Amino acid sequence: MIKIKVLVVDDSAFIRKALENMLSGEQDIEIVGFATNGEEAVDLVAKLKPDVVTLDVEMPKMDGITALGKIMKASPVPVIMLSSLTQEGADITLKALDLGAVDFIPKDKSYGSTGILKISYELKNKIRRFAGDKSIVQRLRLTSSARPAAPISITQRPNVRAVSGRKKIVALGTSTGGPQSLQRVIPFLPADLGVPVLVVQHMPPSFTQSLAMRLASMSKVKVVEAQGGEQVQPNWVYIAKGGKQMVIRRTPGGGVIELKPEDPNLLHNPSVDVMVNSVAEQFGKDSLGVIMTGMGNDGAKGLTTLKNKGGFVVSQDEASCIVYGMPRAVVEAGIADEIVTLDDIAGRITFHCKG
């Protein structure tokens, strides 16, 4: 068996040992080295050529962000950040994702050993997923660095099916690779889009707030983290709050966002399926569903409902996804009306909502 080679980078002996305990019993995973600071990490990546790196942020000599930049420039490799559940940790994590990290694992030091054990399943799953995709670094670097000049119009894409009837609301779901990819979509929506946009990105609470603030600073539309009770407004984007489920209730004025408690029976809080299903039930044929890069199949059930209610479904294509999981599930279910590149998505939303 060819084992997945993992380099663990963390200045905490406790965290290093905890990660070793998590991974050492896996027959297909091998820890090939440990680094206690960013300088060691850069050297060991070049020397050991690991398949995946776990990288802490706060370390002596050279911090994780600086090390990440050097690693992605000299020896690109899938890097999973270990991020604290704080506002500062969220801001740093978003910066790391921009620099080329493929994903992150949230950790809360207050949990002690119990909290570390909670990340075990997620970490193993992500290590296997990223190590098995040899093209992920190339796609990630393209996604992180490229910036489209303008959305491609439908007249330039004759293979993309045009439909009549303006949509009145957009339901967009994404996960792994989403924070970087959303920066290639939301800032390119016009200020007069004319409809509200609801977004689910799989992230913890403080992270969704940071994501909303970052997108707001880049966009012509208004972007906020949903707090619940908002009457949705045209030209506003509402990011689902981490740790909650976001649904919408239609009203004569459009709709009201409701936040529901975390559901222990669901893998994701917020869930794309939950949000999209509520949009489908309330708005039916007036709904536009969009699915973007992400691991797993969250969104496929909700978008099936949306399609059955007469709504329209746009999926990101495989080549432009950082992880072709959630879009794959939608495409293979046969419910995608359009399959377009990442840089086409803003244009397609505009076409279907503004005309």
Same domain, 119 and 180: no
Same domain, 216 and 338: yes
Instruction: Show which of 124, 145, 166 is a domain's final residue.
Output: 145
CA angle 306, 325, 195 (to 5 degrees): 40
Q: Position 50: which residue type?
A: P
pLDDT tens digit string along 108-140?
Answer: 654 455 556 668 888 999 999 999 877 777 666
Same domain, 168 and 229: yes
Same domain, 208 and 113: no
Tell me the pLDDT band of 185, cut-offs 50, 70 and 90: very high
At residue 178, φ and ψ (nearest 5 deg) are -65, -45
pLDDT tens digit string along 213-261?
Answer: 999 999 999 999 999 999 999 999 999 999 999 999 999 888 999 999 9
Instruction: Show which of 89, 116, 145 is a domain's final residue.
Output: 145
Please identify every residue annotated as catalytic. 175, 202, 298
Mean pLDDT of 166-187: 96
Residue numbers of the domain that contains 336:
154-354
Q: What is the pLDDT of residue 153?
A: 41
Assign residue 248 the CATH number of its domain.
3.40.50.180
Total structural domains within the chain = 2
Same domain, 169 and 249: yes
Closest CA to 247 of 223, 10, 116, 255: 255
Same domain, 158 and 21: no
Assign residue 139 the CATH number of its domain.
3.40.50.2300
Whether residue 180 is predicted with pLDDT greater than 70 in this model: the reply is yes
Same domain, 134 and 203: no
Same domain, 56 and 202: no
Same domain, 131 and 161: no
Same domain, 40 and 177: no
Same domain, 182 and 211: yes
Q: What is the pLDDT of residue 193?
A: 97
Instruction: Show which of 112, 145, 178 is a domain's final residue.
Output: 145
Mean of per-residue pLDDT scores for the chain = 89
Q: What is the pLDDT of residue 149?
A: 45
Closest CA to 45 of 9, 93, 99: 9
Same domain, 93 and 214: no
